[in-house]
Structure formats: structure tokens, C-alpha cells
């Protein structure tokens, strides 16, 4: 039986260090520390990219944009997202909805959530009410709780419109 719907999951974690910008969902957030990585280290956009690729069993962000390649150094993660979205569109799929959790101890993300939702919706060319972002602290526990890491988790539902 062929299904019109596919579900995808993406998860990403980045170390937080001083002297790096903190970019989440394509939005720069004022912070004393930022995410370390080969690209701009936007954990949320990376997780969404992986969720889209995963829904269509197209591999993962690392196989499409290897961090061993110099051209992805400090790359804008919006490039990864739009490339994955274009592959999805070519296969005849559209996003039904997207839900996410960003785990970060500090700063508080709630004031930035609406801007992130709008920005992601714009990049994916969908309505922002299809994009959910929840922000959670880890109550002081683990790498996230100690302020050493940011983690993002995403589920996405895509539907074949052909």
C-alpha cells in the first residue's frame, strides 16, 4: 500500500562556545555564547533539513553537505534547508506541518519564537501556523543544562500532492 504521507525526524546538537554568534532558525539571538560548527551551526535549521530528507529517505545533511568540504565552511544553513526543500518539491511532496523543540538553557528563546516561526515559514514557502517551535531548558541537567550545548529536535509530516 502506498501512502500519501511520510513522516520525518531530525535531531541536532552543537557545542556552545564564546566568540560565536547564536543563530537559531535563521535568527541571530543576543547571547554570550554561540554554537560551534563547520557551518553557521544553526541546530534548528539542521534538524529541519534532516527531517525533510528523512521523510523521503534521501539520506542526511552530512551526506548532502559534508563538513569535510571547504565550500560549506561557515555556510548559511538556509542553503541546506532550501536545497532539501527543493528536493522534496521535485518529488511532488509538500509540508503538512512541522513541530520542533529547541533545548537551550540560556538565553530565553520565547521572545524570539515568533520571528523564528515566520522566518522558517518564509524559507519553506508555507504558512507560519504550520510551523511549531517549543523552547525548553534542561533544568540544569546534562550538557544542555550546564549551558554547554544547544539541541534541536524536529518532526515533520509531508504529503504527496501529485
Binding site for Mg ion (CB under 5 A): 12, 46
Nearer to Mg ion, 75 or 155 (CB): 75
Dump strand ranges (E) for the chain.
5-18, 22-24, 27-29, 33-35, 93-103, 131-136, 149-160
Nearest to Mg ion by Cβ — which residue?
A: 46
Q: How far is the CB of 75 from Mg ion (least distance, A)?
A: 11
Residue 144 belongs to what H/E stretch?
A: helix 142-145
Spatial strand order in the sheet of 131-136: 33-35, 5-18, 149-160, 93-103, 131-136
Q: Is 158 in contact with 19 (CB distance < 8 Å)?
A: no
Q: Which is nearer to Mg ion, 46 or 151 (CB)?
A: 46
Which of 65, 93 has the CB closer to Mg ion?
A: 65
Nearest distance in Å: CB 152, Mg ion: 9
What gap in Å lies between CA 138 and CA 23, rounded to an integer?
19
Q: How far is the CB of 13 from Mg ion (least distance, A)?
A: 7
Which of 131/154 has CB closer to Mg ion?
A: 154
Q: Rounded to the nearest whole angstrom, what is the least distance from the CB of residue 49 to Mg ion in the complex? A: 9
Amino acid at each position: 500500500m502506498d501512502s500519501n504521507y511520510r513522516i520525518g525526524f531530525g535531531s541536532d546538537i552543537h557545542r556552545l562556545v564564546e566568540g560565536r554568534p547564536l543563530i537559531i532558525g535563521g535568527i541571530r539571538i543576543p547571547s554570550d555564547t554561540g554554537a560551534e560548527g563547520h557551518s553557521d551551526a544553526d541546530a534548528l535549521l539542521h534538524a529541519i533539513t534532516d527531517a525533510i530528507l528523512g521523510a523521503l529517505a534521501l539520506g542526511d545533511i552530512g551526506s548532502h553537505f559534508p563538513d569535510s568540504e571547504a565550500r560549506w565552511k561557515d555556510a548559511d544553513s538556509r542553503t541546506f534547508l532550501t536545497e532539501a526543500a527543493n528536493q522534496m518539491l521535485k518529488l511532488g511532496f509538500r509540508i503538512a506541518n512541522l513541530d520542533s523543540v529547541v533545548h537551550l538553557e540560556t538565553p530565553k528563546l520565547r521572545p524570539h519564537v515568533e520571528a523564528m516561526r515566520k522566518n522558517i515559514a518564509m524559507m519553506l514557502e508555507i504558512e507560519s501556523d504550520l510551523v511549531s517551535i517549543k523552547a525548553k531548558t534542561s533544568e540544569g541537567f546534562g550538557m544542555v543544562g550546564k549551558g554547554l550545548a544547544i539541541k534541536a529536535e524536529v518532526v515533520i509530516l509531508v504529503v504527496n500532492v501529485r
